[in-house]
Chain A
Amino acid sequence: MSIYVNKDTKLVVQGITGSTAKFHTKLMKEYGTDVVAGVTPGKGGETVEGVPVFNTMAEAVTETGANASVIYVPAAVAADAISEAAESKVDLIICITEHIPIGDMIKVKRYLEDKDTVLIGPNCPGVITPDECKIGIMPGYIHRKGHIGVVSRSGTLTYEAVHQLSELGMGQSTAVGIGGDPVNGTSFIDVLKRFNEDPNTHGVIMIGEIGGTQEEEAAKWVKENMKKPVVGFISGVTAPPGKRMGHAGAIISGGKGTAEEKIKVMKAAGIAIADTPSTMGETLVSLMKNRRT
């Protein structure tokens, strides 16, 4: 029935009184997401877009039964917001914020280790299960309900893939942005595992980029476990080594993390690679056709 979020998700918006948060709270509500609370310390008692604001996560969760949180707070305080959300025992935390110091994320990851909560991000666009729940900043209108799972490190490349799929008449089960940071809460494998077990997902598009080894690790897992067809796209074939390409995690260092290496390992694992970003949708269509015949 999709993964991470659905129509039963009750969302808290951390940082709700900020302009970005306000803008997206409106859009999320318009999409149909059940936004039940907001948290901005010191603004408890106010209302934003019809949503009650609380001073703390603990209060927000107790009063509204919220089970998920989205974070739109500035980088300097975002790690604390993630920790507060984890402590409040929501099931899912989605952190949109970019530029969180790596040192902060290292500590947060450690703090989350003994807690059941799942963190997606930071520096991600969010998660959407079309027609049920949109958490984040993605444009809702490009999505269609369907059976293709999308998982990506890049926000806007996710929209490209979704747009292509929708135009081809292939809706999405859930689209997940895991974000562009080097230390984050959810990896490709975490998402692929869930897609693998989701009866509503019949095929997957995974979008990676230079830096780190998440794609290679995911490829290994796919080879051994994945029951469904996977198409991959890796951006950064033309990226020069040693330069951080926008995302904190998009850097080729010490010869490691190149797009070529990722593509090689993914191909060897049976993942069909789209050779340009505009053929992700059609590559999946032919892959799924071929597997049926």
Chain B
Amino acid sequence: MNIHEYQGKELFRAYGVPVPKGHVAFSIDEAVSHAKDLDSNIVVVKAQIHAGGRGKAGGVKIAKTMEEVRTYAKELLGKTLVTHQTDEEGQLIQRLLVEEGVDIQQEYYIGLVLNRETGRVSFMASKEGGVDIEEVAENTPEKILYEEIDPLVGLTAFQSRRIAFGLGLPKKAVKQGVDLFQKLYKLYLETDASIIEINPLIITTEEQLIALDAKLNFDDNALYRQDRIRGYRDESEEDPKELEAGKYDLSYIALDGSIGCMVNGAGLAMATMDIIKHYGGSPANFLDVGGSATTENVSNAFKILLSDEKVQGVFVNIFGGIMKCDVIATGIVEALKTIEMNVPLVVRLEGTNVEKGREILEKSQVEVISAFSMDDGAKKIVEATK
């Protein structure tokens, strides 16, 4: 789960990681009012969307007067911002962060991320702050410092010192840095974060470390035990169909094709998308009904699939392990009692209770094109939607 920069900074504040003085604004007047409160020569007005690259895309403005704050707030609020991390439609700016400007002496990159190869969290740092870290990793990997964190002892003070010295922090700032890095790790651990990035972490002309940006992402699997983080959720930044699917414990991702897919198991669901493409069709979505789908959930999955106007056919591909074929079949039959099915439906069932499932479909009034293998099903749905 993503959160906005201003929310990340709120968390930083709570954990003692220094951030510029600032406040979120939801309207132009609020923006100006908060800017006045800052009492600063320079006010930075920043678009708040769940995507990076806002600066390059014109989503970050430096204002020297209240008039400029008003102008920039007007320019940004309610407009869509397209960055290299959004799709071509961009994202609607509904919130702004109004912040004091700070004097930058040096910029650094700080990141905490899971290292999948070791199953441990990595603390990354680089003197190349404020630039695209992926480019740095690609071209000059030696410029990135890594400390692997042993979960037994956490990010140790000696590791933090190594990073501080490795970054060449001025003497006065070393202790500050050590303290800051450890607080970051504490935050990472206690909030079940997956990624924390500060790009840039800056040191001011007064040798004060400040996090100028805050990009935090959280483990969806841990949200149940993170009330505060759940409270930061901004549903307007999410696809409404994906949100709806989430309510029914379905894993759904919208794509831009015309063949709706309902599959059990993420690997099989991805493979179903792949095989449809292989035979010349294009998948409209990824949908994993999972192993614990009830008849109700399956019906709801169907409704979400069919609510996508682009869908010109549906392929249900089920290989039942925990998922029972009769549950899917009942779900399909029930769903189609209340929804209009005007597009071809290909169903391929295999696995636990397969005979029961096939029987339920046969006995129902539902018009189904039966498939006996995944290959058969993919070919049939592509043919039927040509």
Contact = CB atoms under 8 A, between A and B. Distances in A.
B268 A217 contact: no
Interface residues of A, number: 62
A154 B374 contact: no
B201 interface: no
Contact of A137 (B271, B322, B374): B322
A236 B322 contact: no
A257 to B, nearest CB: 9
A142 B320 CA distance: 11
A156 B292 contact: no
Given A102-B221, A106-B120, A250-B266, A159 B274 contact: no
Interface stretch (A36-44, A270-278, A284-292): A270-278
A106 B192 contact: no
Interface in A131-161: 137-139, 142, 152-157, 159-160
A183 interface: yes
A180 B375 CA distance: 24
Closest 9 CB pairs of A and B: A154-B267, A246-B266, A156-B265, A278-B375, A156-B268, A101-B222, A235-B271, A277-B271, A235-B270
5 contacts: A154-B265, A235-B267, A237-B277, A248-B220, A275-B278
Given A110-B152, A156-B268, A246-B266, A139 B351 contact: yes
Interface in B200-216: none
A163 interface: yes
Contacts of A153: 267
B343 interface: no
Contact of B119 (A99, A105, A142): A105
Which of A156, A212, A217, A236 has its CB near the most chain B CB atoms (within 10 A)? A156
Nearest to A248: B221
A238 interface: yes
Given A103-B219, A154-B265, A209-B266, 4 more contacts: A137-B291, A214-B116, A239-B270, A240-B255
B152 to A, nearest CB: 6
Interface in A182-228: 182-183, 207, 209-214, 217
A236 B378 CA distance: 16
B189 interface: yes
Nearest to B189: A103
B268 A154 contact: yes
Contacts of A277: 268, 271-272, 274-275, 374
Interface of B: 114, 116-117, 119-121, 134, 137, 150-152, 189, 192, 194, 219-222, 224-225, 251, 253, 255, 263-275, 277-278, 283, 286, 288, 290-292, 319-322, 350-352, 373-375, 378
B119 A245 contact: no
A156 B267 contact: yes
A27 B99 CA distance: 61
B267 A180 contact: yes
Contacts of A235: 267-268, 270-271, 274
A270 B220 CA distance: 37
Contact of A254 (B134, B151, B152): B134
B275 A236 contact: no
A106 B151 CA distance: 7
A183 B119 contact: yes
A20 B270 contact: no
Contacts of A160: 268, 271, 319, 374
Contact of B351 (A76, A110, A142): A142
B219 A101 contact: yes
A5 to B, nearest CB: 17
A269 to B, nearest CB: 18
B221 A101 contact: yes
Given A102-B221, A159-B350, A137 B267 contact: no
Contacts of A279: 375
Contacts of B265: 154-157, 246
Nearest to B273: A238
A139 B274 contact: no
Interface in A95-143: 98-103, 105-107, 109-110, 125, 137-139, 142
Contact of A276 (B119, B221, B253, B274): B274
A75 interface: yes
Given A183-B114, A277-B274, A209 B267 contact: yes
A87 B37 CA distance: 58
B157 to A, nearest CB: 20
A15 interface: no
A244 B221 CA distance: 12
A163 B352 CA distance: 13
